[in-house]
Amino acid sequence: MRRSSYVGRDVATRIAYNAAMRRLPTPPPSSDITPEARYLRRREILKSAGLFVGTAAAMGTGLVALTGRGRRATITAEPLPAGLVVPSASAAPAAPSSSAAARNPFTTDEPRTPYEDVTTYNNYYELGLDKEDPARNAKTLKPRPWTVVFEGEIKKPQRVDIDTLLKWFPLEERVYRMRCVETWSMVIPWLGFPLGKLLERLEPTSRAKYVAFNTLMDPEQLPFQLTDVLEWPYREGLRLDEAMHPLTMLAAGLYGKSLPGQNGAPLRLVVPWKYGFKGIKSIVRIALVEKEPQTSWNMAAPREYGFYANVNPQVAHPRWSQAMERRIGDLEKRPTLPFNGYAEEVASLYAGMDLRMSY
């Protein structure tokens, strides 16, 4: 089928141009890149203080949002399917803590990124390469009907309708920090359920070591799959213990509403201690496998995007520093925290590993 059957000539020309000129994410603006000398000095300070010790600088919400480039798309939030109850963030389970003050990693008192910013400033290359493109183009994605296939090293392989899946587990609101590899960040109230609960229900076999995920492959719904920016469909993966960790979730909504298409409707992965590109969107397949699965960005640029993709301010991207980040809506940068601030919960997963090599 010719490309013009999916998109108009002008759009096809723009797609071809963008595919040729922007195969990899654009480096952050020079104002967002920490000078090398300052970064190296900060790295030594962090090293002397200990890899997993640090606090975020107190940054007030800026008066000018970073996403205000041009006219934003109008977002209409869809309600969740009937029968699903939305709990408050306070209902999320409390995490064990050895400190006197209770620590709950499932929520945060940091200001939430406004809904309009969360839903109009997105990376979803299947719907466009500019941040505003996914919101403009998401109308082509149809999240119903939708099924998800579970297969591989499990005792209960099956194909499940999305609305049936969403009734298997109580939905929880979790307010997580999200750090993009491009050095910007958000705070998002997700709505979903722990991935580990789903995997327990599927009953992994003793050979299951990793979890592999696939996005929908359908250029009529995701027209930028007609480009060769990445090898489609989008693929991601986790080690089984990462997938089973209580912080890892499958999200079906945000801000108490169903996920918009540009945010990965109807089901996406959220792993808050990893860079955002690990959060695969519009999932249609989850397979438990014995060997480390291929992942899209690691296949495209293995030197830049490792399989683990843990947020680590001491490991720079080859084209920019990761030591600082800019929260969407803020005017000032802030230090990036090891594991995005979730080190107390997840650092033990990587005991004995060289996180400069296994980046």
Per the annotation, binding residues for Mo-molybdopterin are: 122, 125-126, 180, 215, 263, 268, 279-281
Tell me 65's DSSP state.
-
Question: What span, in angstroms and rounded, lies between the C-alpha atoms of 251 and 265?
Answer: 9
Nearest to 152 by CA among 322, 257, 291, 353: 291
Tell me 89's DSSP state.
G
> What string of DSSP letters covers 319-345?
TB--SEEEETT-SS-EEPPGGGGTHHH
Nearest to 267 by CA among 131, 160, 127: 160
- Residues annotated within a binding site: 122, 125-126, 180, 215, 263, 268, 279-281
Nearest to 180 by CA among 74, 324, 51, 47: 324
Region of residue 340 (phi > 0: left; psi between -120 and 50: alpha; otherwise: beta): left
Question: What span, in angstroms and rounded, lies between the C-alpha atoms of 282 and 321?
Answer: 30
Report residue 277: phi and psi, to 5°.
-65, -15
Per DSSP, what are the bridge partners of residue 258?
Answer: 253
Report residue 188 CA to chain centroid gap.
11
| AA letter at 318 | P
Token pair for residue 328? 């969407």
Token pair for residue 52? 């997993």
Rg (the chain; Cα; Å):
20
Question: What span, in angstroms and rounded, lies between the C-alpha atoms of 205 and 152?
Answer: 9
